[in-house]
Structure 1
Amino acid sequence: MCGIAGIRRFTRPEIDSRVLAGMVATLNHRGPDDSGFWQEGGIGLGHTRLSIIDLAGSRQPMVSADGRWALVFNGEIFNYRELRAQLSYPFTSDGDTEVILAGIVTHGLSFIESLLGQFALALVDRDTGSVHLVRDRLGVLPLFYSNAAGELVFGSEVKTVLAGLPRRPEVDLSSLDAYLLGRSVPAPNTLFDGISKLPPGHRAEVTNDGRVLLTRYWEPPEADPAGAWTPERAIDAVDDAVTAAVGSALVADVPVGAYLSGGVDSSLIVAKIAAVQPEHRVTTFAAGFGDPRNDELTWARRVSEHVGTDHHEVHVDAADFEHLWPKLTWHRDAPMSEPADIAVYRLAEAARQKVTVVLSGEGGDELFAGYPKYRAAKAVAAISMLPGGLRSSVAGALDRHLPHRLGRARIALRVLGERDQADQLRTWFAPFTSSEREALLAGVDSRPPVRDPRNPDVIRGMLLGDLRSWLPDNLLERGDRMSMAASLELRPPLLDHRLVDLAFRLPSDLKVREGRTKWILKEVARRYLPAEVVDRRKVGFRVPLDAWFRGDLRDSMWDRLTGAGSFVGETFDRKAVRELLQRHESGTFNEENRIWTLMSLEVWHERFFSTRSIDPAIHR
């Protein structure tokens, strides 16, 4: 994995090399092994490298043999050897970077669609002066840009773009509603006014006169016709596709390990690695929180013993949160969307002591319907036939009285209270309902949230919604930033686009079957793992914040959300915030998700707007 940066000036030809160097400096954690620069007139590119393939070669930025194209590239192309064998080109290196250039020289920009892997790249066409920005199909790797005041500034992280701008932008208040809905802001927007995020599966051509032409080059396929798949044939196909995806993700010239939570997805990946590479003992990593309600270390150990891995564990506590929250917010460039972000960093930090690349299980739930909401989808859709006003008033009356032990029922109730299917789909993961957001944001002019189109297959509609936003804007951003903060490359093989294509071709009744979520992937896992691992209740990577916000993090919570100078206190309804904290302190109700959402926003504002410098040394 690497970091990329660049500037394209349309009205002023010169670029200050010190500005470009400052942008690259913000990416040292993404590429501690090497860095490079390329400048020509009003265009400059920068790169930092974490060496994974062709360790001694493939320096970037790289210019094509014909001199037309200049490239900076972040990621890994898993099929680069096969692609290289099909290209007639005067190669001077043995890596995947030059294969991208060779393919574009030979076939044009459409060659991007041949790439298998995870990538974000920028190409300069020296003949036309255009810059092409490209992001991988699922959004595993990030790419941000600003196009204003006669210049394009882009980079792997928001802080990289900030370092290239003449002045720091303001908070984009119009994105606050989206943030309160999903704890992240969907592409193309960010919480920074004027800074955009390239959506997954898109490429953008920024022309010589500064116009941005956005093109979608990939989207999931339609479902195959009814009756096209038998359960047995589908299980075999998914099994083969997972094997191929894991095999591809193991391409590297450095040690590769895997995260192992003890859940189905990570356990299946670890078992597949052992099957694909029987000559190597898999190195695995797990995190625990010292809370018996949620700790899954016992299950991770069970899988490790079954597969036979070299297993390592890390323990996370409240002190880690207080210490790491500001630092990791700087790495995230955004509010920490999930409490598990901090645990993922500690896990990455431990893994980096042993390996340079880890495989993880992101994507299994979003492809094969693994969350409890998918099981409840059809029932909620049926009840939603009742008048919206009636549902909303009943749900609102009951919501504030359901105790912590009925947490899942409370989520379903909040979903039922929303006005239509589009709002319901987003509310399953939403900290705040639409009415709560309206109350908090009184007086703030917010942009309406993205509304996914209605789908007659409610489960497929949920899956598409999660694939478009929840996965890339929340889970994958977490994985990328927290792993790269430790200079560790993260690869989610379940998001191999060949497996994603297959998953969306399969009918929903093979994903949720007889009330069982993620049915087909569990049937694959059953071939390699003990039944007790496959059939146990889903817990997830959960942090005991409910107790911490009543204990070790209580003072920080009150000070940050209600104290003088609080961004949250000045922007949102202060009375509503205080009532939220008091409800949680009562012990009868658990408001940790909503408190976490507001706390993360406050810490983010402190990091990026309460100091004058974004120098990484200040935030580490």
Structure 2
Amino acid sequence: MCGIAGVFCARGAPDRGGLERMADSLRHRGPDEASVWAAGPIGLAHTRLSIIDVAGSHQPMHSPDGAWSIVFNGEIFNYRELRRGLDHTFRTQGDTEVLMAGLMRHGIGFVDRLRGQFAFAAHHHPSGTLHLVRDRLGVLPLYYRHDGRGVVFGSEVKAITAYTARAPGVDPDSLDAYLEGRSVPAPHTLYAGVAKLPPAHRAEIRATGCPVLHRYWTPPPVADPGIGADEVVEEADRLIRDAVRAALVADVPVGSYLSGGVDSSLIVAIMKQLRGNSPVETFAAGFGDPRFDELDWAQRVSDRIGTRHHTVAVRAEDFIDLWPSLTWHRDAPISEPADIAVFRLAASAGKHVKVVLSGEGGDELFGGYPKYRYASWARAARRIPSGPRRAVGRLLDARLPPRLGRQRIALRALSAGSEADQLATWFAPFTREERRGLIGRPPSPDRLRRAPEGVDDVDRMLRNDLAGWLPDNLLERGDRMTMAASVELRPPLLDHRLVEFAFGLPSALKVRDRVPKWLLKQVARRYLPDDVVFRPKVGFRVPLDRWFRAGLRETARDRLVGGDSFVGSALDRRAVIRLLDRHESGRHDEEIRIWTLLSLEVWHEVCVAGWATSRRAP
């Protein structure tokens, strides 16, 4: 992958010094090469991590007829197939020139033919139009800022602030969204005036400099597959194998994460079959806590499949040491404690490979989270008036012991008011009432989430997670934490052809007899033993509950309620103190709420208050 950035001026000309600052801010995304270019109203910057056509495919790239100039981030997995269908004299062996040739022949509609993960900017000189494009699932990021002088864009927010050379401000309307989901859904961000291009969208920017957004893809509705369950399993197997095969396209070494869970284990098993006798490098992280540590399972899978396996230990001290620098890399609060573990994994992988595969998407495509089993309960709960339901929920919530963490999450979701609130609350650290108490006002109407269309409760859950939780949290984490180590991440289960297949299937093939991820597990049984396929889901968790009562205790209290605390001033300080007291008492487990607030505080320290002194990672 790479880093892209640029400016489209509604008046005046690009500042070359600003473009160079943009490229410098994205050096970690592309340590192999960096360049800038400007002509007329458009200026482009690019940093390259060489994966395909290592010696060629320099960027920015310009078409021979002078009509197009592009900067491209990502991989087009079907570029060889597309290349064969284009009447063009190619000068390189890479996918960037295939994109260029496709734009010359078909225009911006060529994006519909791309298979892969990508974000790119393409300027069409004859019409004076800039196109910003993001891949269908949102694997790769793209941000922009629009004002009267034009549009500034980049792979990360830091590239935009590097060009403007102005300290960023906080968007107060996005605080509620962050406290609800630990991330801000596109098109909004925590930065005032900075937007995030949504997945499966392209922005068209003409001479006025005002972006006009177009959606070019959406997952299909559920339909009768027209075949039996056995045939569906067979087709799922074929598509997953094809997706893994496509994700292996590279001119550099490719490895894989291996947690020991079903998603990553299935990917590694298929990867090993496709590679034959060639070695496969796998990587896993452990936390020294038997409740969450899956290193033994990862090792068992590695031994069975036959990979070269590497492990890394993550300690509480890593969080103190890495929190500021990884917040700088993310340009946002570290939404999950596992973010830091993902970086440690990527840094370990980077000693052996340049690309890693991962299992993101399996839960959101095939119904893997425990919450999907409660879908019918949520519908039944909505038959009870919301007022009494919320009151009973608060009463029970206060009495649940810390060990019943998952039950507490389910209780909060079932107690939420509307279906949209229920969908959001499964991943929400704070309920709607708690957020209003912390912020002091309700969210603005344009920030309210709405339940997506779907044929049933499970289908709507899946579509909601695919549109929000997956790109705004998991994929954003995956991109930033691996790019911080200059490693490329590829999630093959998010191949759009596999996504279209999965979302066209009825929910009964995903959650069956209360077994989550039924279809994927049937495929996995062809490659893995049942004890791996059907063991309880653990997830990538970190023992924060213990760490916040020990090594991280003082850090939490000093940062959240100290005199110069952003959280203490922007939110209700007394409510924050009560939260810390409850956790330290041992009678309540408030780890994810404390983490959410601490991450917000560290983000403000590094990316807003400390912007002038943190042009590079702390």
Q: 1:307 is matched with which residue?
A: 305
8 Å contact from structure 2 (residues 150, 208) kept in 1: no
User: By how many angstroms is 1:166 displaced?
Assistant: 4.7
Question: Quick one: distance in 2 between partners of 1:366 and 1:154?
Answer: 29
Q: CA 1:409–1:612 in structure 2 vs 1: closer, same or farther (change >3 Å)?
A: closer
Superposition map of 1:35-114 within 5 A: 35-114=34-113
Q: CA deviation at 1:141?
A: 0.2
2:383 counterpart (382, 385, 390)? 385
Report if aligned partners of 1:204, 1:212 keep a CA contact under 8 Å in 2.
yes
Picking from 313, 326, 329, the partner of 1:328 is 326
> What code does the residue aligned with 2:609 have?
S
Alpha-carbon separation, structure 2, partners of 1:108 and 1:9: 22
Q: What is the Cα-based RMSD across aligned positions, in Å?
A: 1.1
CA-CA distance at 1:460 after TM superposition: 0.4
| Residue correspondence of structure 1 range 4-43 to structure 2 within 5 A | 4-12=4-12, 14-43=13-42
How far did residue 281 of structure 1 move?
1.7
Q: Distance in 1 between matches of 2:2 and 2:505?
A: 35
Q: Runs of 4 or more off by more than 4 Å in structure 1? A: 443-447
Per-residue deviation at 1:149? 2.8
Secondary structure of the structure 1 residue equivalent to 2:144:
strand
User: Gaps (5+ residues) in structure 1?
Assistant: none
Residues of 1 paired with 2:522 and 2:344: CA distance?
32
Residue of structure 2 in register with 1:150 after alignment: 149
Q: Which amino acid letter does the alignment assign opposite residue 162 of structure 1?
A: T
Residues of 1 paired with 2:449 and 2:163: CA distance? 29
- Paired letter, 2:432: S
Overall identity of the aligned pairs, in %: 59
Which residue of the partner structure matches residue 341 of structure 2?
A: 343
Equivalence for 1:580: 579
5 Å-filtered alignment, 1:135-534, equals: 135-225=134-224, 228-443=226-441, 446=444, 448-453=447-452, 455-534=454-533
SS in 2 for 1:551: coil
- SS of the residue 1:72 aligns to: strand
1:208-239 deviation line (CA, Å, top 9, x unaligned): 111211100000001113x6242111111110
**TM-fit CA distance, 1:42:** 2.1
Q: CA deviation at 1:3?
A: 0.3
Equivalent residue of 2:44, what SS?
A: strand
1:90, 1:34 → 2: CA distance?
Answer: 25
Letter of the 2:164 counterpart: L
Q: Retained in 2: the 8 A contact 1:421–1:454?
A: no
2:452·2:463 contact (CA, 8 Å) conserved in 1?
Answer: no
Distance 2:326 2:77 in 1: 29
Pairing 1:594–2:593 present: yes
Gapped regions of structure 2 (runs ≥ 5): none
Q: 1:268, 1:35 → 2: CA distance?
A: 37
TM-score of the pair, normalised by structure 2: 0.98
Return the offset for 1:615: 4.3
Distance (whole Å) between structure 2 residues aligned to residue 223 and residue 492 of structure 1? 23
Amino acid at match of 1:67: G
- Greater CA drift, 311-320 or 411-420: 411-420
Q: Which moved more, 1:203-212 or 1:315-324?
A: 203-212
Letter in 2 for 1:499: L
TM-score normalised by L of structure 1:
0.98
Q: Which residue of 2 aligns with 1:538?
A: 537
Shift of 1:5: 0.7
Query: Could you say which residue in structure 1 is the equivalent of 2:122?
Result: 123
Specify whether residues 115 and 445 from structure 1 end up closer, same or farther in structure 2 by C-alpha distance, changes over 3 A only. Answer: closer
Distance in 2 of aligned mates of 1:571 and 1:229:
56
C-alpha distance after superposition, 1:498-557 (max 9, x if no partner)? 000000011100100001000000010011001100110000000000000000000000
The AA in structure 1 aligned to 2:7 is: I
The C-alpha deviation readout for 1:413-447, integer Å capped at 9, x for no partner, is 11121111110011001000111111111057655
Q: Which residue of 2 aligns with 1:3?
A: 3
Alpha-carbon shift at residue 584 of structure 1 (Å): 0.5
Cα pair distance change 1:612/1:302, threshold 3 Å: closer
Q: Which whole-Å CA distance do the structure 1 matches of 2:384 and 2:111 have between them? A: 47
Deviates more, 1:436-445 or 1:303-312: 436-445
Report if the CA contact (8 A) 2:221-2:454 is conserved.
no
- The CA deviation string for residues 576-608 of structure 1, in whole angstroms up to 9 with x for no partner, is 111111111111211001000000000000001
Report the CA distance between 1:49 and its aligned residue: 0.3
Counterpart AA for 2:266: L
User: Hey, what's the Cα distance between the residues in 2 that align with 1:125 and 1:338?
Assistant: 40
1:128 to partner: Cα distance: 1.6
Contact 1:177–1:446 (CA under 8 A) maintained in structure 2: no
Distance apart, 1:170 and its partner CA: 1.3
Q: Which amino acid aligns with 1:359?
A: L
Distance 1:443 1:419, change over 3 A: closer
Where 2:29 maps in the other structure, the secondary structure is coil
- State the distance in 1 between where 2:8 and 2:314 align: 43
396-405 or 194-203, larger mean C-alpha shift: 396-405
Partner amino acid for 1:530?
P
Write the distance in 2 (CA, Å) between the matches of 1:456 and 1:133: 33
- CA drift of 1:455 comes to 3.7
Q: What is the number of residues matched between the two proteins?
A: 617
Secondary structure at 2:245 match in 1: helix
Amino acid at match of 1:558: R
Alpha-carbon distance in 2 for matches of 1:137, 1:314: 32
